[in-house]
Amino acid sequence: MPNLALRVEKTRAEQILTLLRGVGLLDTARRVVRSQGHVYVPVVQAPEQLPPGCEVVVHENPANPPRPSLASLLSESFGPQPVGRLPHSFDIIGSIVVINQSDRPPEQLRMVGEAIMGLHRNVRTVMVKSQPLSGEERVGGYTLVAGEGITETTHKESGCLYKLDITKVFFSPRLSAERLRVSRQVGAGEFVIDMFAGVGPFSILIAKKQPRSTVYSVEKSGEAYRYLVENIRLNRVDGNVTPLHGDVSTIFAHAEGLADRVIMNLPYEAHRFLYVASRLARQRAIIHFYSISPREEPSCAADLAARHLDGLGVTYEVLSTRVVKETAPSKLMVGLDIRVKL
Q: Which stretches of the chain bind ligand SAM, using CB under 6 A?
A: 136-138, 170-171, 175, 196-198, 201-202, 218-221, 224, 247-248, 265-266
Q: What backbone torsions phi and psi does residue 285 show, to the nearest 5 degrees?
A: -70, 165
Got the DSSP string for 290-322?
Answer: EEEEETT-TTHHHHHHHHHHHHHT--EEEEEEE
State the minimum distance, in angstroms, from the CB of residue 220 to ligand SAM: 4
β-pair type (316-328, 241-245): unpaired
Identity of the residue, 108 or 240, whose beta carbon is nearer to ligand SAM in the bound complex: 240
Identity of the residue, 43 or 276, whose beta carbon is nearer to ligand SAM in the bound complex: 276
CA gap 71, 64 in Å, rounded: 20
State the minimum distance, in angstroms, from the CB of residue 301 to ligand SAM: 15
Task: Report how far apart, in Å, the C-alpha atoms of 23 and of each of 9, 16, 43, 169, 231 are.
Answer: 20, 11, 11, 27, 19
Give the CB-nearest residue to ligand SAM.
Answer: 198
State the minimum distance, in angstroms, from the CB of residue 174 to ligand SAM: 10
Identity of the residue, 40 or 196, whose beta carbon is nearer to ligand SAM in the bound complex: 196
State the minimum distance, in angstroms, from the CB of residue 292 to ligand SAM: 11
State the minimum distance, in angstroms, from the CB of residue 221 to ligand SAM: 4
CA-based torsion, 301, 342, 217, 94: positive or negative? positive
Residue 5: CA count within 13 A, CB half-sphere: 23
Identity of the residue, 229 or 248, whose beta carbon is nearer to ligand SAM in the bound complex: 248
Any alpha helices (H) in 190-314, and if so which ranges?
A: 201-209, 222-234, 248-251, 274-280, 300-312
Identity of the residue, 97 or 197, whose beta carbon is nearer to ligand SAM in the bound complex: 197
Identity of the residue, 27 or 157, whose beta carbon is nearer to ligand SAM in the bound complex: 157
State the minimum distance, in angstroms, from the CB of residue 171 to ligand SAM: 5
User: Which of 45, 46, 51 is CA-nearest to residue 12?
Assistant: 51
E strand or H helix at 127: strand 125-134
